[in-house]
Structure 1
Amino acid sequence: ILPKPGADGIYYMIHGTLDNEQTLTAQYLYLSVIDMSLNGGLGAVTIKNQVLIDDALNEGKITAVRHANGRDWWVFCHKAFSNVYYRLLVTPSGVSVDGTQSIGTYRPEDAGQTCFSPDGSKYAYYWGIEDLDIYDFDRCTGLFSDPVHIAIDDYNTSGGVAFSPDSRYLYVSSVLDAYQFDAEAPDVVASMAHIAHWDGFYSPFDPFATLFELSQLANDGKVYMSTGNSTFHLHVIHDPDAGGLACNMEQHGVELPVWFSNSLANHPNYHLGPVDGSVCDSLGINLGVAEAVVQQALQVYPNPSAGVFTLQYAAQPEAGVLEVRDLAGKLMLRERLPAWSQVHHVALEHAAGLYNCQLAWGDQRVNTRIVVVP
């Protein structure tokens, strides 16, 4: 789902369906338009299932990233039985097919997952049989380059990928195993770290195994991973900006209130701005967030609390720091705020009282206070 450039309250939903269960392909890429000003603010679909592409497409490979001009969007999907990517452009004039590019691994019908790094500079494609491809990406031209193919020594027919908030580390969920790759390493293949093997946990009972499937970077700066089955759990990577086992992957670490199948939200980085200084940075767009706006956006809840609370704030392109101090200025807690995150969960194990929370990104600082009750 993408906001229509220059049209507040209008959203484009670009979607497909599994038209051939034997080959795991979609025959159409559709566009539907949503107007949130209608139906008393609940929104309504004004255009439904307008065909954008009529071709055999690999399922679940619809991925978007902000154009280098900071306003438009690139959208990609993959043609089945080929190495061809369809490239679409989203502008104030609408959604159109901008062209195709042949690059990287030939891929027949598949499942798996694709994603862009939060900074838009890299793209990853993973499916267990054809394994992993990583590309550089030019947000100005919409072209991929410098493909790196990584053969992972296991076999499965599914899996997922997600980047860390700082865009350095790539996580691959490969059904029975999970891996980390350093996308900035001179030898990306050699950087592979094995971070988890399925621990045999079932949810709620056999045969509903909590395996490693689709992955998604969330707005709290953590990577969440589905289980590939209908279960009551998700896996979570708590510190995805850290290398190796320090990324702190917790298997079945999130217990869900309902039986959950296997889908995860497919959100691009809505906060990514223009590529400053590029030839495409011609619209005068500045998505930087002024300190006054950051202060206004800062919320804490519940307040008062028993020491467990959530901070909500405007997304920033760099990592920040949270410091919690008592009224005497004594440091009670210091934690990292991942780049692009918007919420941070705090567990303050100290005496009841009034505490100051300061969030800092470089020279920019904002403050709020929390009341902790017994």
Structure 2
Amino acid sequence: MIRLKFLVIAFILCCTTVAAQAQGEQKNWYFGKGAGITFTGDSAKAITNGRLFTEEGSASISDKNGNLLLYTNGITVWNRNHKVMPNGNGLLGGNSSTQSALILQKPGSDNIFYIFTTDIQAQSDGLRYSIVDMTKDNGNGDLVFKNTFMIAPATEKLTAVRHSNRRDWWVIAHRWNSNAYMAFLVSDKGVAIEPILSNAGTVHGGPNRKAIGYLKPSPDGTRLAAALWNDNSNFELLKFDRSTGKVSDPILFKGFSEAYGIAFSPDGSKLYGTTNNKNNGKGQIVQFDLRAGNPAAILKSGTVVATSGSPTLGALQLGPDGRIYVARRDNLHLGVIYNPNAKGKTVKYKDNGFKLAGRKSDLGLPNFAQDVK
């Protein structure tokens, strides 16, 4: 009996360690107008040592122990010492691209990282990737290849999900003037040239500004959600197959003004989106209950759970502390959803939930891949 008790304790400690290591890569955030956050356990602290200033997208990555490695706005790359990396200028992301950058560690490598970038509003630079070698510049990193072309035109949507083999990645984007989601396999052999194409959901096209809006995976990687920004815009929810890279079974949530940010709750039961109410000029957060039942029931569950004092809300990003942080344009605070697994207004939203130590939020928060152990 004693032996069994020790085995149970060891198992719990092992799981806790795995969870802590999985969160280490997302410990340090840089975004907005020189703003930043560092997470330790359940606490979050504002930091002001970043050099990044951007209107929308950014990406950062730390090692499994939470030590900062690099961060970028999709144009410039800074190292752990907040210095521009050698060859670290001139990436072809955009200062005003929703998900301008995403950083992935190459499978099977301790030192090679990919930076994927998206151009502004479906322009000609499209989706590209660059390569960082962390053994260069005395271990601080150097861009050894830049702006390798993948596909164009593409929307500003960019995310990644761990493959079902728990080793490789799927980098997921969306073709412009098309209903095709594109999943590129990233393995120890590199980045696949040809994507897996899935014609699913609505056509992302029309006026170029409709390329705006986030794409996010659920915590278990089996669902995707996208915000299709426009005056009269939509959210869409789809299934994702981590083995094949295929996207399917779309559900469309219609009739939201300026749908932009999107995030799943930690347990995957709720979907959140930011939108702006034309009648009162305030940003709002809408929640959908993904366990409500069939697609019609999920649609019917849509509820405004928070209204901001800000006219414009941007990104939603789940933190390592289990809270969802809300970007408020040109504001000294982030909004915070404290209990995102809860239903309706019991989520406990605070508009001035996180003070940025004198720095300001804009529309974006860091873009992270969804690891699934």
Answer yes or no: same fold by TM over 0.5.
yes
2:153 is the counterpart of 1:56: yes
Distance 2:122 2:201 in 1: 20
Supply the distance in 2 between the matched residues of 1:177 and 1:265 (Cα, whole angstroms): 20
Could you give the per-residue CA deviations for residues 117-158 of structure 1, whole angstroms, max 9, x where no partner exists? Answer: 011011001124330110111111111121111114x423x5
Matches within 5 A, 1:1-374: 1-18=103-120, 25=123, 27-53=125-151, 55-59=152-156, 61-96=157-192, 97-108=194-205, 109=208, 110=210, 111-128=212-229, 129-152=232-255, 154-156=256-258, 158-175=259-276, 176-186=283-293, 187-199=297-309, 209=310, 211-227=312-328, 229-257=329-357, 258-270=359-371, 272-273=372-373
CA distance in 2, matches of 1:233, 1:115: 23
Alpha-carbon contact 1:127-1:160 (below 8 Å) kept = no
Look up the equivalent residue of 2:244 and give its one-letter code.
Answer: T
Q: Is the 8 A contact 1:222 1:236 kept in 2?
A: yes
Shift of 1:263: 2.0
- Amino acid of the structure 2 residue aligned with 1:189: L
Query: How big is the shift at 1:24?
Result: 5.2
Tell me how far 1:221 sits from its aligned partner.
0.9
In structure 2, the residue matched to 1:301 is none
Using the aligned pairs only, state the percent identity.
33
SS of residue paired to 1:246: helix
For 2:252 and 2:124, how far apart are their aligned partners in 1? 25
Asked if the contact 1:25/1:80 (under 8 Å) is kept, the reply is no
Q: Distance in 2 between matches of 1:252 and 1:26?
A: 39
Scaled by the length of structure 2, what TM-score is found?
0.65
Measure the CA separation in 2 of the matches of 1:137 and 1:57. 19
* Counterpart-to-counterpart distance in 2, 1:100 and 1:27: 20
Is the contact made by 2:272 and 2:286 (CA closer than 8 Å) also made in structure 1? yes
* Consecutive unaligned residues in structure 2, runs of 5 or more: 1-102, 277-282
Asked which structure has the greater RCO (Cα within 8 Å, sep 6+), the reply is 2
Change (3 A) 1:138 1:24: closer
Q: Secondary structure at the match of 1:188?
A: helix
Given the two structures, how large is their TM-score scaled by the length of structure 1? 0.65
CA displacement at 1:254 relative to structure 2: 1.2
Which stretch shows the higher mean deviation, 109-118 or 24-33? 24-33
**8 Å Cα contact 1:16-1:26 kept in structure 2:** no
Shift, 1:173, TM fit: 0.7
Shift of 1:211: 2.7
Residues 283-303 of structure 1, C-alpha deviation per residue, up to 9 Å, x if partnerless? xxxxxxxxxxxxxxxxxxxxx
Write 1 or 2 for the structure with the bigger share of helix.
Answer: 2
Q: Deviations over 1:83-129 (max 9, x none)?
A: 11122110100001333111111121321111000110110011243
For 1:62 and 1:254, the matched residues in 2 are separated by 26
* Number of the residue aligned with 2:10: none
Asked if structure 1 preserves the Cα contact closer than 8 Å seen for 2:271 and 2:287, the reply is yes
Q: How many residues align?
A: 254
Q: Please identify which structure carries the higher strand content.
A: 1
What is the alpha-carbon distance in structure 2 between the residues aligned to residue 252 and residue 81 of structure 1? 38
The offset of 1:248, in angstroms, is 1.1
Contact 1:26 1:58 (C-alpha < 8 Å) held by counterparts: no
Q: Which has the larger radius of gyration?
A: 1
